[in-house]
């Protein structure tokens, strides 16, 4: 049986209560909206891209503890990274929360994001954990339409 504490780790609860980079970003030149129609979660991710680098990033919106904490920690980890680096982290993160992380793979790239590994025991919550990342991906690609988890 999966333990609730595996999902709701203190770091996650703390980020959900006091999300980092939770604001509009006047300097943003990329922006996308993400929406989970199943539960009504909705986020906007703002990115200030300088060349290939994510100079600044922020988000706003409403969602559950998992989606909000994930968005918050995502903004921390990708700030200063290149687009390719951010996409690579998303790939690794996605593998981890869906339980498809390669055996013996290094978790160093994910850093603090490993607190979300418990999500893989709660399949219906995978979309919560990845919503902000899908939205970031859409923002970087310059997509105009809101992305949906469905």
Partner 1 sequence: MTSAARKLDGEKRPVSATGRFDVERVRADFPILHQKVHGHPLVYLDNAATSQKPRAVIDAITRYYEGSNANVHRGVHFLSENATEEYEAARLTVQEFLNAAHSREIVFVRGTTEGINLVAQTFGRAQVQAGDEVLITAMEHHSNIVPWQILCDEKRARLRVASINDQGELLLDEFANLLGPRTKLAAVTHVSNALGTINPLKRMIEMAHSRNVPVLVDGAQAVPHMKVDVQDLDCDFYTFSGHKVYGPTGIGVLYGKATLLHAMPPYQSGGDMISSVTFEKTTYNQLPYKFEAGTPDIAGVIGLGAALQYVDGLGMENIGAHEHDLLAYATEAVSAIPGVRLIGTAKEKASVLSFVIEDIHPHDIGTILDQQGIAIRTGHHCSQPVMERFGVPATARASFAVYNTRKEVDALVRGIEKVRQVFA
d(CA 8, CA 42): 20
| 80 and 64 Cβ atoms separated by less than 8 Å | no
Neighbours of 14 (CB within 10 A): 12
- Cβ proximity to partner 1: between 2 and 29 the closer is 2
Question: Minimal distance in Å, beta carbon 129 to partner 1?
Answer: 12
Kindly list the residues in this chain that would bind partner 1 in the complex (CB under 8 A): 1-2, 4, 7-8, 13, 17, 38-42, 62-66, 68, 122, 124-125, 128
Question: Minimal distance in Å, beta carbon 66 to partner 1?
Answer: 7
- Cβ proximity to partner 1: between 34 and 63 the closer is 63
Question: Minimal distance in Å, beta carbon 74 to partner 1?
Answer: 18
65-78 vs 10-17: helix crossing angle, rounded to 10:
90
| Count of positions (residues) in the chain | 150
């Amino acid at each position: 049986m999966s333990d609730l504490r595996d999902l709701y780790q203190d770091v996650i609860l703390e980020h959900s209560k006091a999300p980092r980079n939770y604001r509009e970003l006047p300097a943003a030149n990329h922006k996308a909206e993400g929406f989970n129609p199943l539960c009504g979660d909705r986020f906007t991710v703002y990115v200030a891209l300088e060349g290939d680098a994510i100079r600044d990033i922020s988000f706003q919106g409403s969602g559950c503890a998992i989606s909000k904490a994930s968005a918050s920690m995502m903004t921390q980890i990708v700030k200063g990274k290149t687009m390719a680096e951010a996409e690579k982290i998303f790939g690794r993160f996605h593998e981890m929360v869906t339980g498809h992380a390669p055996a013996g793979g290094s978790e160093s790239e994910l850093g603090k994001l490993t607190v979300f590994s418990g999500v893989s025991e709660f399949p219906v919550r995978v979309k919560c954990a990845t919503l902000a990342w899908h939205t970031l991906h859409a923002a970087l690609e310059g997509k105009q339409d809101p992305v949906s988890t469905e």
